[in-house]
Amino acid sequence: MDSITQAALGASIAGLLAGKTLGRPVLLTGALLATLPDLDVLIDYGTAVANFTQHRGFSHSLFVLAPLSLLLAALLWRWKPEPGFSRWLLLTAMVLMTHPLLDTFTTYGTQLFWPIGRPLAISSVFIIDPLYTLPLLAGCIAFLIRPPAVRAVAAGLALSTAYLGWSFVAQQAITERVQPALADAGFEDVELLVQPMPFNTVLWRATAMTDQHRVEIVTGFLDGDAPLTLEYFPRQPELAKAVSQLPETRRLEWFTRGFLDYKTNGGEITATDVRLGIPGAHPFTFILANQQDGSVIPGNGARAPRPVMNTGALPLLWARTTGAIPVLCLASLATPTSGQEC
């Protein structure tokens, strides 16, 4: 999740556990502790692919955060003996460990059990979702106005947690909705990713992958009985095969679970993480190799420039979320003309 949300979550937990003893400063303590795992973005791992795939790595591992909680609790206890070591330990452990647990609900991927296993991604909330964040902020504001505001902080935490639960239930409902349509189109038992569209859990995006095609479906809870629209994007398996042995390719395949789109542009072979963003606005594309005279020359995994955000599409996204328009083509971020399909 975004930094503001993580800070609000950390501050809320700290306020609930030690607000009566420490007062308003405990909110800042919780917010600062909650930002620690994301400081790994300051580390340069050598290549853009390494930086991309090692973010949310060791700093988000429960195997690292558990002993770190013990160390920080001891330091904080020496600084402020009240509310006692056990309460400090509970506070640091809860703030630090809820950070990666919350990140796991997003699509990016969190290496919760680093150095073993692959990244975990439930993918039921967008990386920025105001409906999750606002209850936490409301509780923190109430605490600042009239500390310790235990009920308000607890209510904020309860509402935000309930929203996470709703997001998971909603994801399962959308999955059940799209699976029959995919099966009818010959996409049964394929890799499927169901995740919310930006900033909400009303409108959802389902992505199915085969070697030859990627299929995208956008559907939401305000669509009624409208038929689903399947939008097809061709894949280029020959490009994937050409760079399959490169270390950067293997790392990206592992990190994204194969949700990559390979293309050529001016002789460069690129791989795009199609999980993040939406078609036409995927933020993570990497240059893996160059084609010269029929040969593939490995690149350094540099990140390609991020596409410019089409702000003009935001009203269309909102209209699609509310059901005001029944179809939004992802390839063009536009509504199809009468008689045409995406």
Report the share of the chain in percent with pLDDT over 90. Answer: 80
How sure is the predictor about 312, in pLDDT bands with cuts at 50, 70 and 90? confident
Angle of the 150-184 helix axis to the 130-145 helix axis, nearest 10: 180
pLDDT (tens digit per residue) in 44-97: 999 999 999 999 999 999 999 999 999 999 999 999 998 999 999 999 999 999
pLDDT (tens digit per residue) in 121-166: 999 999 999 999 999 999 999 999 999 999 999 999 999 999 999 9
Weakest-pLDDT range from 19-23, 36-40, 78-82, 275-279: 275-279
Q: Where are the domains of the chain?
A: 3-168, 185-331
Report the share of the chain in percent with pLDDT over 70. Answer: 100
Weakest-pLDDT range from 4-8, 53-57, 187-191, 216-220: 187-191
Which of 18-27, 220-229, 297-306 has the largest mean confidence?
A: 18-27
CB-based contacts of 319: which residues, under 8 Å, 6+ apart?
Answer: 325
pLDDT (tens digit per residue) in 256-311: 999 999 999 888 999 999 999 887 789 999 999 998 877 889 988 899 998 877 77
Count CA atoms closer than 13 A to 19's CA, side-chain side.
Answer: 25
CB-based contacts of 127: which residues, under 8 Å, 6+ apart?
Answer: 1, 2, 106, 107, 108
How confident is the model at residue 268, as a pLDDT? 93
* The token pair that represents 256 in the structure block: 């994204």
Closest CA to 6 of 125, 89, 155, 86: 125
Run of H or E residues at 264: strand 260-265
